[in-house]
Structure 1
Amino acid sequence: MPSTPRTHREVRLAAVPDGLPRPEHFTVVQAPVPQPGPGEVLVRNRAFLVFAALLRTMIGAAAAGLPGPRPGDPLPGPAIGEVITAPEAGGLRPGDLVRHDFGWREYATVPAGMCSPLGDTLPDPVAHLSQGWTAYAALTRAAEVRPGDTVLVTGAAGAVGSLAGQTARLLGAGRVIGTTGSAAKAYRLTTELGYDAAVVRGPEPVTRQLAHSAPEGIDVLLDTVGGEQLRAAVEVARPHARFALVGALSAQLAAEGRGISAPVELDLAPIVVKRISLRGLNAADHPDALDEWTQRFGGWLRAGDIRFPHVRLPGIDQAPEAFRQVAEGRHVGAVIVEL
């Protein structure tokens, strides 16, 4: 095994943005390789996920009062890597591949209990960085897709949505509809990613497009956007519809004038009359869903029943620009930086 270098590179927050983060809000620095303390594992990262949910921890108005990284802090995020050193009694050995949440750096010290061995359930280690766990938890725990349901996914081309449509279909949904920002993405949603129809944000109101795509209404919503699209979902919901709210991208990007509306008031009357349930969800609250998802995801991948759309970018220097592209919706699926 090659010797560990004295220094490595890591991405740090240079300044807390008050809107959409730009590359100048990040800095890639050379720093000493961290030394593991008692009970810690030293991991050489191989890849990490660049994900839009990080906006919640960097934009104060959208963070719901939760603490986020401060200037000078390295950024957090899902990563996979190779164990370099580990406590003798921890069950991990040098060379093991693990998943953890200390990405955005080449080396990380991680408490042994926060390292998850990858095993061979998934055919590609990078697939452990998929956001399908969030989609799966939403569709099995919060909204509970039933056979024949009509399912709507907002932000359908993102890391969560690009797997949510396929997963809903595999769970028995009868019709799956997604919202997205361009005709090119809509084409991929309906030809590759399990969607029957796609609503493209633009001159025609979302509600009118949804009424055409789901004339009998929707039973399930997996919402990553909020704002106008959430209001439209309420209008077309069937009685007893179940909504799983996993993101609020409209609030996070409204200040940038990106063409996505700011949060809007919801009319409570149809929510009450239709008995719609709205439930916020963080997949971390359902750790049992992760193992369940990993097993099913691996089987679906090997059978060719599901695709993992993603983009791989080489080198940590690309991470700041990659994050801007993720926040702007430049890609379909997950964006992964390989080291």
Structure 2
Amino acid sequence: MTTSTQIQLVSRPVGTPTTEDFATVQVELPELGRDEVRVRNEYVSVDPYMRGRMSEAKSYVPPFDLGETMTGGAVGRVVESTSDALPVGSAVLSSYGWRDVAQGPAAHFSPLPETELPLSVFLGAAGMTGLTAYAGLKRVAGLREGDVVFISGAAGAVGSIAGQVARKLGASRVIGSAGSAEKVALLKDRYGYDDAFNYKDAPVRKQLREVTPDGIDVYFDNVGGDHLEAALDRLNRGGRAALCGAISQYNSTERTAGPDNMANLVKNSLTLEGFIVGQHQDLQGEFAEKMTGWLADGSVVFDETVVDGIGNSVRAFLDMMNGANTGKMLVRP
């Protein structure tokens, strides 16, 4: 028998999750059945959308079940197999996260190409994270040559890639927000942002106005709240906003106030569209070809914040929700 260390949700958080809402358990894995694989995960992803799955509120993905091991993105290598399609040693992607050893039907695991890049890139820049940035900017916001783009949460997993993708798609100027002076410097020095500001220094509305004298054409929203309100002030006529997330509100226990300037949608013929990456899987092939090329030639860079030990997954998740990560937050079991 093989033992798998797994993380389960044992109570539904009210407000900010705490470590008491989770349990670390040891699960004995049975012998492999026909056409099954056992995989040792090398990296496990923790993402903001998982906060919504900890609630019973209706959403685009079902909630985690209490007392059951949670799921999420993971990459690893097959260590045992009864599948001809996935022999021992195969690199695979799955949704069997929040555990160090995964087991299930081979059909639940997707083979990954062998490249010079670490497997973790398929959870970040070359995975769902990167596709989110690409689909949101290209299709949802309809980014056009010469557009001025503002991205909130720009030093996070999606934001750090989105700024670079915006440039690749023809943006003339890219502005970002982040939560520290160090991250602001990183946006400009590493990720190619033309300007950036620390949203903690002064009201976002004031700071965005100062750095966008000619307004913006596209807003990629990871934060919501005061960032969305500020963007509505600065979007030019015909401006478009791709609403990817609202991390500023995920732990709120009270109804959050809406922007006070929604009339700008009518006045400036603005378009706001929320999206989830699963709606745009048809872009996967196009995205993968472009992103692997950009990563290979170094014209797109990525960063990861890695926490070691599957038992530290909850801490990694909570740190990510508090903005402690630069780039993609990962757990290395």
Out of 302-311 and 105-114, give the one that drifted further.
105-114
Query: 1:68 pairs with 57, 63, 67, which one?
Result: 63
Shift of 1:88: 4.0
SS at match of 2:241: strand
Amino acid at match of 2:28: P
Question: Gaps (5+ residues) in structure 2?
Answer: none
SS at match of 1:195: coil
Shift of 1:290: 2.6
SS at match of 1:199: strand
Aligned position for 1:14: 10
Question: Gaps (5+ residues) in structure 1?
Answer: none
CA distance in 2, matches of 1:19, 1:98: 35
Aligned position for 2:138: 140
Amino acid at match of 1:217: G
Shift of 1:13: 1.1
Please give the per-residue CA displacement for 1:201-246, whole angstroms capped at 9, x wherever unaligned.
2352212211111111111111111111111111100111111111
Shift of 1:293: 2.4
Aligned position for 2:203: 205
Within 5 Å, which residues of 2 pair with 1:195-234? 195-202=193-200, 204-234=202-232
Identity %: 37
1:304 matched to 2:333: no
CA distance in 1, matches of 2:287, 2:81: 27
Amino acid at match of 1:67: P
CA distance in 2, matches of 1:313, 1:204: 31
TM-score (normalizing by structure 2): 0.91
SS at match of 1:152: strand
1:273 matched to 2:267: yes
> In the superposition, relative to structure 1, how do residues 64 and 76 fare at CA in structure 2: closer, same or farther (>3 Å)?
same
1:27 matched to 2:23: yes
Aligned position for 1:42: 38
Shift of 1:138: 0.6
Shift of 1:338: 1.2
Aligned position for 1:316: 310
Aligned position for 1:104: 98
CA distance in 2, matches of 1:34, 1:237: 56
CA distance in 1, matches of 2:32, 2:240: 45
SS at match of 1:286: helix
Amino acid at match of 1:316: I
1:77 matched to 2:72: yes
> In the superposition, relative to structure 1, how do residues 34 and 79 fare at CA in structure 2: closer, same or farther (>3 Å)?
farther
Shift of 1:273: 2.0
Q: Is the CA contact (8 Å cut-off) linking 2:35 and 2:83 kept in structure 1?
A: no
Query: 1:53 pairs with 49, 54, 61, which one?
Result: 49
Q: Is the CA contact (8 Å cut-off) linking 1:250 and 1:263 kept in structure 2?
A: no
Q: Is the CA contact (8 Å cut-off) linking 2:226 and 2:259 kept in structure 1?
A: no
Shift of 1:65: 7.8
RMSD: 2.2
1:240 matched to 2:238: yes
TM-score (normalizing by structure 1): 0.90
Within 5 Å, which residues of 2 pair with 1:167-178? 167-178=165-176
CA distance in 1, matches of 2:317, 2:210: 34
Aligned residues: 329
